[in-house]
Amino acid sequence: MTIQWLGHSCFLITSSDGRTLLTDPFDETVGYALPKVPANVVTCSHDHFDHHAIQPLPNGYTVIDTPGTHHNHGFVVEGIPSFHDEKQGSLRGSNIIYKFQVDGLKVAHMGDLGHLPTKAMEEQLQGIDIMLLPVGGVYTVDGDQAAQIVEMVKPRLVIPMHYRTDELRFELNGPEAFLRHFDHRELNSDRVEINAENIGDYAPVLVLSYK
pLDDT for residue 202 is more than 70 = yes
User: How far is residue 148's CA from residue 85's CA, in Å, rounded to a whole number?
Assistant: 16
Output the pLDDT for position 34.
87
pTM of the model: 0.95
Q: What is the pLDDT of residues 154-196, one digit of tens each?
A: 999 999 999 999 999 989 999 999 999 999 999 999 999 999 9
pLDDT of residue 7: 94
What is the distance between the alpha carbons of residues 153 and 134, in angstroms, rounded to a whole number?
15
How does pLDDT run across 52-102, given as a tens digit for each residue?
Answer: 778 778 877 999 999 999 999 999 999 999 987 776 766 776 899 999 999
What is the distance between the alpha carbons of residues 104 and 101, in angstroms, rounded to a whole number? 6
Per-residue confidence at 46, pLDDT binned at 50, 70, 90?
Answer: confident
The domain containing residue 147 runs over which residues?
2-207
Percentage of residues of the chain with pLDDT beyond 70: 96
Pair 165, 146: CB distance under 8 Å = no
Give the pLDDT confidence of 113-165 residue by residue, as tens digits: 999 999 999 999 999 999 999 999 998 999 999 999 999 999 999 999 999 99
Residue type, 150: V
Separation of alpha carbons 77 and 66, rounded Å:
10
Query: Which strand ranges, in their side-by-side order, compose the sheet holding 184-186?
Result: 68-72, 75-83, 94-102, 105-109, 130-134, 157-161, 205-207, 184-186
Radius of gyration of the chain (CA): 15
- Number of domains, the chain: 1
Which pLDDT score is estimated for 58? 80
- CATH number for the domain spanning 125: value is 3.60.15.10
In 53-189, which ranges are continuous DSSP H helix?
119-124, 143-153, 176-179
Rounded Cα distance, 134 and 103, in Å: 24
Residue 177 DSSP label: H
Query: String of b and e for 26-60 (b: at least 16 CB within 10 Å)?
Result: beeebbbebbebebbbbbbbbebebbbbeeebeee
